[in-house]
């Protein structure tokens, strides 16, 4: 498995530089050899650009590029289901889905927030005055979950201003 983009021996370019030069260079052996060397170096770049849409599809992207896609989508592990979930990142629903995807358990989430719309001034605000977030996982004894790993995932995927606690409850 290649870990980086590089020169691919024998890869031809669809756009050779020598053929694009003015006619006076067509018979110049040095110029033609120079542009052929540049073609060899640029062929992988042009190949990537020609297939660029495939790089943004996790099912088609090269394996080493998927890690970059995962970082862009803000996810750990499998990136295929993460891109649609990115729209709900920072919400209770998005956090629950992220925990479920990584740990295989759907958590119970309690939060202090809420939203309201009113045409009347001084309408009572929903939620609690002090912000909080509690993520509770109920897991069978046979399915151990590392609480520190859950906390780390919640810390990366919660709204940054929201203090949180994680509770892992092992059920018999």
CATH of the domain at 163: 3.30.70
What does the pLDDT read at residue 136?
96
Please check the confidence at residue 20 and state whether its pLDDT lies above 60: yes
Structural domains of the chain, count: 2
User: Residue 23 falls within a domain, yes or no?
Assistant: yes
Domain with 26, as residue range(s), is 18-50
Please check the confidence at residue 156 and state whether its pLDDT lies above 90: no
User: Residue 105 falls within a domain, yes or no?
Assistant: yes
Whether residue 34 is found in the same domain as residue 99? no
User: Residue 138 falls within a domain, yes or no?
Assistant: yes
* CA gap 37, 13 in Å, rounded: 11
Please check the confidence at residue 1 and state whether its pLDDT lies above 50: no
According to DSSP, the β-strands at 133-140 and 164-171 are: parallel
Whether residue 96 is found in the same domain as residue 143? yes
User: Residue 78 falls within a domain, yes or no?
Assistant: no
User: Residue 67 falls within a domain, yes or no?
Assistant: no
User: Residue 27 falls within a domain, yes or no?
Assistant: yes
User: Residue 125 falls within a domain, yes or no?
Assistant: yes
The answer to whether the CB of 89 falls within 8 A of the CB of 101 is: no
User: Residue 59 falls within a domain, yes or no?
Assistant: no
* CA gap 14, 102 in Å, rounded: 43
The answer to pTM > 0.75 is: no
How many Cβ atoms sit within 10 Å of the Cβ of residue 96? 17
Please check the confidence at residue 61 and state whether its pLDDT lies above 70: yes
What does the pLDDT read at residue 7?
64
Whether residue 107 is found in the same domain as residue 40? no
Whether residue 43 is found in the same domain as residue 97? no
**pLDDT (mean) for 109-115:** 87
| Mean pLDDT rounded to a whole number for the chain | 85
DSSP one-letter code for 20:
G
């Amino acid at each position: 498995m290649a870990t980086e983009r590089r020169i691919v021996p024998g890869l031809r370019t669809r756009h050779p530089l020598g053929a694009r030069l003015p006619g006076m260079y067509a018979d110049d052996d040095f110029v033609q050899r120079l542009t052929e060397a540049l073609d060899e170096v640029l062929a992988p770049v042009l190949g990537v650009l020609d297939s660029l849409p495939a790089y943004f599809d996790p099912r088609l992207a090269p394996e080493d590029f998927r890690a970059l896609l995962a970082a862009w989508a803000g996810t750990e592990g499998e990136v295929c289901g993460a891109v649609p979930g990115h729209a709900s990142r920072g919400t209770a629903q998005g956090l629950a889905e992220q925990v479920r995807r990584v740990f295989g358990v759907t958590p119970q989430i309690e939060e202090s927030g809420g939203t309201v719309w009113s045409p009347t001034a001084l309408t009572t605000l929903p939620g609690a005055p002090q912000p909080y977030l509690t993520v509770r996982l109920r897991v069978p004894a046979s399915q151990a979950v590392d609480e520190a790993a859950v906390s780390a995932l919640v810390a990366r995927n919660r709204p940054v201003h929201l203090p949180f606690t994680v509770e892992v409850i092992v059920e018999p």
